């Protein structure tokens, strides 16, 4: 084995599509860490809650004063003071509530932004193997819907816990001060509200987890069927009916899960509601008896019953909150599951930046497999001198694309080494490595944005003149100039408003702007019409000029012009040399070449 970490280590770093669904309970400290940046706002919310809770105690106390003091004493001034106090405390509490609402949104939305950003940033660092093994819909669902769900917990639930706790504690203290006997009676029903919580929470957690998984599935179906490629497939195979059925099925399963989620704990909530009615009845009964036998004032009983709302309301809310928190943990778990996945081939701590790249590429005994069962590359060794053009030819599935993907470290070999200018690619920083490599593949990806913005993706600070010069070199400027909006034309989803040839030339212009030392080019396999082919060939000239290029060659002309040709068969390089040398050898290359030559002759004969 040549250099590199041991194979078992490499595998453990790669994404495993069959990863076990570990149900690891979320560490609360991890969740709280997201709250840390908002401590000043949280302190203010806490202050608001405390003041509002205290203000809430005043109206029942003013009522008691009215009934037991001011009215019997026929003191109108005291009556006005009590009523004024009631109104003022309500107004101040209302105003503070508005401010607190603003702070809640600020904290909640801020935390969601932070979680979403760290999730997306982490996903950007995940290896390609993760994306080939995971449905896009599932990823989308976690980034959008799951994080949205956290909003409820963050803004609603936590504030609700604190508010209700404060309200309950202040109320309990006050009622014990008013009359400890009645207070004990009033408190007696509370344990009945809390006892059945645990099983309800557990069930809700389970159902919510299933619901989220079902949503992943629906998002995946939507994503796959509503993309341009998906919809084209559906239409061409007339599978609309099948897709509708599939969607309906998944939707029905989600509907059932959502209904059971809504129904979990309904009986429990109904029982709590009953207790809220029974509590005051018991207080009236006991209070009435105490008033008759030991002179408890009417005002105290009325105030007491008013306080019960501030006791049972928060108690039942807290009961519900606990259930919500437990089930929200299911969502956090899903988010942390993504955040905990190992990012792509970690940079070594002493990785150096690649500078003044000459563009020498070497593979030394490279062994690579995507899955443990099957080797994609077996002992690949070759050398490409700076500025040379190397063509890779060979049957489909031989490993040509895989070879090119190891250079920018989209994957790391399990054994052997890939070198650029003599440095193992694992010893240099990822950014400096990739900045020096340009890639043009058959599947040109363009953002749904303007042509200008798509080109500038390669170099955001490029001037208009540089943009035009790159487009000219790529033989696409004249076409862009004919468009009514020119460089401001929006290319449509993934560039589908353009022809395949135009997209490819735009991609070439984009790489020209990047101006890398090393170029990876996967030529189009599909036969282009001769005008398009000529346009692309012309665009390729400046692209290949003065760079080291690794070209997966499908065109005879490219192959013939290459400085060195590598024949790849079944993960191995079986022949290498120049076009003339390999033809003279009369081996696999010669067979491939003459086959293509004949095919082309036939195509041209048919075309004419
Ligand atoms: P083509 O000319 O058809 O594009 P290729 O020579 O470029 O083929 P590669 O794409 O390098 O072939 O594939 C080499 C082998 O690795 C194939 O057997 C393919 O099935 C397998 N393979 C490619 N990508 C993956 C992947 N992401 N996961 C698992 N196996 C893969």
- Is 346-435+549-608 in CATH node 3.40.50.720? no
Nearest CA to ligand 1 atom 31: 370
**Euclidean distance between CA atoms 175 and 207, whole angstroms:** 40
CA angle at 325 for the pair 322 and 331, rounded to the nearest 5°: 160
**Euclidean distance between CA atoms 513 and 487, whole angstroms:** 15
Mean pLDDT of the chain: 83
Using the predicted structure, report yes or no on whether residue 367 has a pLDDT greater than 90: yes
Ligand 1 pocket test, pick from 15, 402, 555 with the greatest ligand atom count within 8 Å of Cβ, gives 402
**Euclidean distance between CA atoms 392 and 586, whole angstroms:** 17
Using the predicted structure, report yes or no on whether residue 214 has a pLDDT greater than 80: yes
Quote the pLDDT of residue 195.
66
Cα of 428 to ligand 1 centre, how many Å?
26
Using the predicted structure, report yes or no on whether residue 13 has a pLDDT greater than 50: no
Nearest CA to ligand 1 atom 25: 370
Residues with CB under 6 A from ligand 1: 132, 370-371, 376, 396-402
* Whole-Å CA distances, 597 to 16, 513, 523, 591: 42, 35, 17, 10
The conformation of residue 145, written as its DSSP 8-state character, comes to I
Identify any residues that bridge with 548 across adjacent strands, giving them in sequence order.
518
**Euclidean distance between CA atoms 45 and 48, whole angstroms:** 5
Token pair listed for 256: 């059932």
Q: Write the pLDDT tens digit of every residue in 398-428.
A: 999 999 999 999 889 999 999 999 999 999 9
The residue extents of the domains of the chain are 21-339, 346-435+549-608
User: Which top CATH class is 21-339?
Assistant: mainly alpha
Quote the pLDDT of residue 279.
80
Query: Helix 197-225 to helix 240-263 angle, to the nearest 10 degrees?
Result: 160
Confidence tier at 256 by pLDDT (50, 70, 90): very high
Residue tagged 């909003």 (tokens): 151
365: left (phi over 0), alpha (psi -120 to 50) or beta: left
The number of residues making up the chain comes to 608
Using the predicted structure, report yes or no on whether residue 84 has a pLDDT greater than 90: yes
The conformation of residue 25, written as its DSSP 8-state character, comes to P
Quote the pLDDT of residue 23.
46
Region 557-565: mean pLDDT is 85
Quote the pLDDT of residue 443.
78
Using the predicted structure, report yes or no on whether residue 281 has a pLDDT greater than 90: no
**Euclidean distance between CA atoms 201 and 324, whole angstroms:** 7
Q: What is the DSSP string of 389-447?
A: EEEEE-STTSSHHHHHHHTTTSS--SEEEEEETTEEGGGB-HHHHHHTEEEE-SS----
Q: What is the DSSP string of 84-116?
A: HHHHHHHHHHHHHHHHHHHHHHHHHHHHHHHHH
Cβ-based neighbour number of residue 110 at 10 Å? 16
Quote the pLDDT of residue 529.
65
Report the percentage of the chain scoring pLDDT > 70.
89
**Euclidean distance between CA atoms 326 and 157, whole angstroms:** 11
Q: For residues 119 and 147, is the Cβ–Cβ distance under 8 A? A: yes
Cα of 571 to ligand 1 centre, how many Å?
10
Q: For residues 581 and 551, is the Cβ–Cβ distance under 8 A? A: no
Report the percentage of the chain scoring pLDDT > 90.
24
Nearest CA to ligand 1 atom 29: 370
Region 544-568: mean pLDDT is 86
Residue tagged 């599509």 (tokens): 17
Region 369-395: mean pLDDT is 91
Quote the pLDDT of residue 606.
60
In 513-539, which positions are buried (b, 16+ CB within 10 angstroms) versus exposed (e)?
bbebbbbbbbbbeeebeeebeebbeeb
Q: For residues 440 and 519, is the Cβ–Cβ distance under 8 A? A: yes
Confidence tier at 19 by pLDDT (50, 70, 90): very low
Using the predicted structure, report yes or no on whether residue 251 has a pLDDT greater than 90: yes
């Amino acid at each position: 084995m040549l250099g590199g970490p041991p194979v078992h280590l490499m595998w453990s770093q790669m994404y495993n599509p069959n990863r076990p669904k570990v149900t690891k309970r979320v560490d609360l400290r991890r969740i709280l860490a997201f709250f840390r940046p908002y401590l000043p706002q949280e302190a203010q919310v806490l202050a608001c809650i405390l003041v509002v809770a205290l203000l809430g105690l005043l109206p029942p106390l003013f009522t008691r004063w009215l009934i037991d003091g001011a009215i019997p004493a026929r003191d109108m001034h005291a009556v006005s003071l009590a009523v004024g106090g009631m109104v003022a405390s309500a107004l101040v509490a209302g105003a503070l509530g508005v401010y607190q609402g603003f702070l809640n949104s600020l904290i909640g939305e801020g935390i969601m932004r932070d979680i979403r950003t760290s999730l997306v940033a982490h996903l950007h660092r995940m290896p390609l193997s993760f994306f080939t093994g995971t449905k896009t819909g599932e990823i989308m669902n976690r980034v959008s819907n799951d994080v949205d769900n956290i909003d409820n917990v963050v803004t609603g639930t936590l504030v609700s816990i604190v508010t209700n706790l404060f309200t309950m504690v202040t109320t309990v203290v006050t009622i014990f001060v008013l009359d400890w006997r009645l207070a004990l009676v009033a408190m007696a029903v509370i344990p009945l509200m809390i006892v059945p919580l645990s099983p309800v929470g557990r069930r809700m957690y389970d159902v919510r987890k299933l619901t989220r998984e079902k949503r992943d599935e629906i998002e995946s179906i939507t994503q796959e069927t509503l993309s341009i490629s998906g919809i084209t497939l559906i239409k061409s195979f007339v599978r609309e009916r099948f897709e509708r059925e599939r969607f309906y099925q998944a939707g029905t399963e989600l509907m059932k899960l959502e209904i059971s989620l809504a129904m979990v704990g309904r009986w429990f909530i109904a029982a709590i509601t009953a207790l809220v009615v029974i509590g005051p009845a018991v207080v009236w009964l006991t209070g009435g008896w105490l008033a008759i036998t030991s002179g408890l004032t009417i005002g105290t009983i009325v105030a007491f019953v008013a306080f019960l709302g501030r006791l049972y309301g928060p108690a039942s809310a807290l009961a519900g909150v606990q259930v919500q928190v437990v089930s929200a943990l299911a969502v956090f778990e899903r988010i942390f599951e993504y955040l905990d996945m190992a990012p792509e081939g970690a940079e070594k701590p002493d990785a150096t930046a690649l500078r003044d790249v000459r563009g020498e590429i070497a593979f030394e005994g490279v062994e690579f497999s995507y899955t443990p069962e099957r080797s994609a590359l077996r002992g690949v060794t070759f050398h490409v001198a700076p500025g040379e053009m190397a063509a890779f030819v060979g049957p489909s599935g031989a490993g040509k694309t895989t070879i090119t993907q190891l250079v920018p470290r989209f994957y790391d070999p399990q054994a052997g080494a890939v070198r650029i200018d003599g440095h193992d690619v694992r010893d240099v920083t990822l950014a400096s490595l990739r900045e020096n490599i340009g890639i043009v593949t058959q599947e040109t990806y363009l953002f749904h944005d303007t042509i200008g913005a798509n080109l500038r993706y390669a170099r955001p600070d490029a001037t208009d003149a540089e943009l035009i010069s790159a487009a000219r070199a790529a033989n696409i400027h004249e076409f862009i100039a004919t468009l009514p909006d020119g460089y401001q034309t929006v290319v449509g989803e993934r560039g589908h408003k353009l022809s395949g040839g135009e997209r490819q030339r735009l991609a070439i212009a984009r790489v020209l702007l990047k101006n890398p030392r090393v170029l990876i080019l996967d030529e189009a396999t599909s036969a282009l019409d001769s005008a398009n082919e000529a346009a692309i060939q012309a665009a390729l000239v400046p692209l290949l000029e003065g760079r080291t290029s690794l070209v997966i060659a499908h065109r005879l002309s490219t192959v013939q012009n290459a400085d060195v040709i590598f024949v790849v068969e079944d993960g191995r390089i079986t022949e290498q040399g120049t076009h003339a040398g390999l033809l003279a050898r009369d081996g696999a290359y010669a067979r491939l070449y003459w086959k293509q030559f004949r095919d082309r002759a036939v195509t041209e004969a048919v075309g004419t």
